[in-house]
Structure 1
Amino acid sequence: MKKVLNTVNKIVKVLKKIESNNEAKSLCKVYNITKAKFNNWRKKYSRMETHQLQRIKELEEENRTLKKMYADISLDNSMLKDFVVMLKDLLGKKS
């Protein structure tokens, strides 16, 4: 079964393993990545230190949290707008 690379830490570990080994082609095959993807990852992640990776992870988590908060607030806002329209209709009918 092919291995799945879904986190920055895993990607960096694989990059280091591939770069330390002359068998890049076979390791790319093991991890089911193309040479182009390997080169892109190498440009993006190979020079990163552990603290930088941790910071990226923290920022990604914060981004997910903020996106969820935004979605919740947008839904609340939409419901409140609908409620205001409904109240205006009810008050308009009573006058």
Structure 2
Amino acid sequence: MKKRFSEEQIVKILQEAQIADTQREIIRKYNISEQTFYKWKRTYGGMSVSEVKRLKELEKENAKLKKLLAEQMLVNEALKEITEKKW
């Protein structure tokens, strides 16, 4: 599923909502639902654009490390099976 707004855009929208008179104006302006707005607010509220970029980098790094760990665990399991067999 393709996102209409990037994380950076979402943060800018939320910052604009803090300045605006009502949140409903922002919701109408960007054609988003109230649920989406409040979900964004819960997730990205109070963050700056640089913090969102850093969060994105950390999530990518975490996914990479999880993949490496899973691969290493498979290798270890295979080595255990090989050593346990009686030739």
Question: Which residue matches 1:24?
Answer: 27
Structure of higher CA gyration radius: 1
RMSD: 2.6
| Superposition TM-score, scaled by structure 1 size | 0.64
Question: Which residue matches 1:39?
Answer: 38
Q: State the identity %.
A: 30
| Superposition TM-score, scaled by structure 2 size | 0.68
Counterpart AA for 2:39: N
Q: Show structure 1 runs of 5+ residues with no match.
A: 29-33, 91-95
Aligned length: 80
1: distance between equivalents of 2:37 and 2:27? Answer: 9
Q: Show structure 2 runs of 5+ residues with no match.
A: none
Contact 1:25 1:35 (8 Å CA) reproduced: no
- Whose relative contact order is higher, 1 or 2, with alpha carbons under 8 Å and at least 6 apart? 2
